Amino acid sequence: MNITYDNFEEIIEQGLSTENVSLRDLKWIEPVGVALLKTMYQSQLITNLSDTESVQSSARAYIRCLTNTPATDSERTYVTLTEFSQDLFPQSEDALVQGVVNNILHNTGSMEARDREDLRLYLIYLLGEIVRNIKDHSQSQHSYIAAQFYPSHRKTQVVIVDSGIGLRASLERRYPEIQTHSDAILKAIEPFATGVAPNSNPYGGTTNIGLGLHMSTELIKLTKNRLKMISGDSKLTIANRKTVVTNLPFTWNGTIVTFEIFEHNLQQEFGELFDYIRGRIDQNGISIF
């Protein structure tokens, strides 16, 4: 059994339907799998997480995150699973993001300096915006970040999981036209869509409020990287510059965002692309492309 970016939905469905996950046959697990299992176990969505010591050696060190057993430095090739909560903000928000990004970059010494700097800027922006959305909207008691750079695949995977109220509950108060989780997930990536009233913007002004998820998904799309976002019974997938929303056979109470950035897709400088996307949005929040 492998738990990866491509199939992690299966472990969610299994856990939610049976409240039991056995890792006896686990051979490979990526950050998205660890963060999900930890969130589900901590939130008591899974009541029995068994055979954590039976997994193969390639995954054993990572699985120790689930049982709060630290891996030794020699075993660690990933960013340690990081928990954060409402109590953390606002003083340590930037430090949280910077710390995770620094840990990712620690393993990217083989990258060219220019690509490494672009990766740093992409990660700081994407991770920062998602963390801020969780802080402002999720009301989550358990939120986790996990990440890893894969030298052989020349890619970075990041996942942020929360067990909060989800996008629909956050947005439908301001947008009564939202009737489904699919409506909410599509609304969330529109420019200036937000569950926060303009006069309550914690960043002092209304210029950038509601742009974070729109800018983030556009950055992923235009760089030909990939992203999945799950909330409720809906999943948004970005791959090959296409955005698709599908219904799921389960309901996740909260939001999952995971993305992968490939080194060969870091050909456009972050600042130039950011300004290009921002320039497509007029003052009324309409994308003009």
Task: Assign residue 203 the CATH number of its domain.
Answer: 3.30.565.10
End-of-domain residue from the set 49, 76, 103: 76
Pair 271, 150 in one domain:
yes
Pair 93, 60 in one domain:
no
Ranges assigned E (strand) in 12-136: 20-22, 28-29, 48-50, 79-84
Domain assignment present for 17: yes
The CA distance from 58 to 236, in Å, is 30
Q: How many CB atoms lie within 10 A of CB 79?
A: 24
Pair 2, 104 in one domain:
no
What is the amino acid identity at position 18?
Answer: T
Domain assignment present for 284: no
Q: For residue 138, which of 188, 176, 180 has the smallest C-alpha distance?
A: 188
Pair 64, 102 in one domain:
no
20-24, 88-92, 96-100, 257-261: least confident range? 88-92
What was the pLDDT predicted at 284? 47
Q: Of all residues in the chain, what percent carry a pLDDT higher than 90? A: 47
What was the pLDDT predicted at 203? 39
Pair 35, 128 in one domain:
no
Is residue 107 within 8 A of residue 85, CB to CB? The reply is: no
Pair 210, 91 in one domain:
yes
Q: What is the DSSP letter of 190?
A: S
Is residue 276 within 8 A of residue 247, CB to CB? The reply is: no
Domain assignment present for 287: no
The CA distance from 277 to 126, in Å, is 14
What was the pLDDT predicted at 166? 87
Domain assignment present for 289: no
Domain assignment present for 163: yes
What was the pLDDT predicted at 68? 56
User: What's the predicted TM-score (pTM) here?
Assistant: 0.88
Pair 68, 94 in one domain:
no
| Residue 86 pLDDT level (bands cut at 50, 70, 90) | low
Pair 48, 89 in one domain:
no
Is the pLDDT assigned to residue 95 strictly greater than 70? yes
Q: What is the CA radius of gyration of the chain?
A: 18
Pair 3, 126 in one domain:
no
The pLDDT tens digits of the residues spanning 41-75 come to 888 888 887 766 666 655 666 666 655 554 444 44
Strands 226-239 and 79-84: unpaired
Domain assignment present for 15: yes
What was the pLDDT predicted at 127? 95
The CA distance from 142 to 162, in Å, is 6
End-of-domain residue from the set 76, 105, 122: 76
The pLDDT tens digits of the residues spanning 255-288 come to 999 999 999 999 889 999 999 988 887 554 555 4
End-of-domain residue from the set 15, 45, 76: 76
The pLDDT tens digits of the residues spanning 183-233 come to 999 999 998 877 665 544 443 444 456 788 999 999 999 999 999 999 999
Pair 44, 147 in one domain:
no
Domain assignment present for 212: yes
CA 44 remoteness from chain centre: 21
Across all residues in the chain, what is the average pLDDT? 83
Q: Of all residues in the chain, what percent carry a pLDDT higher than 70? A: 80
Domain count of the fold of the chain: 2
Domain assignment present for 46: yes
Is the model more confident about 66 or about 158?
A: 158
Pair 87, 72 in one domain:
no
93-102, 163-172, 179-188, 275-284: least confident range? 275-284
Range of the domain at 44: 1-76
| Residue 26 pLDDT level (bands cut at 50, 70, 90) | confident
Is residue 155 within 8 A of residue 110, CB to CB? The reply is: no
Pair 48, 113 in one domain:
no
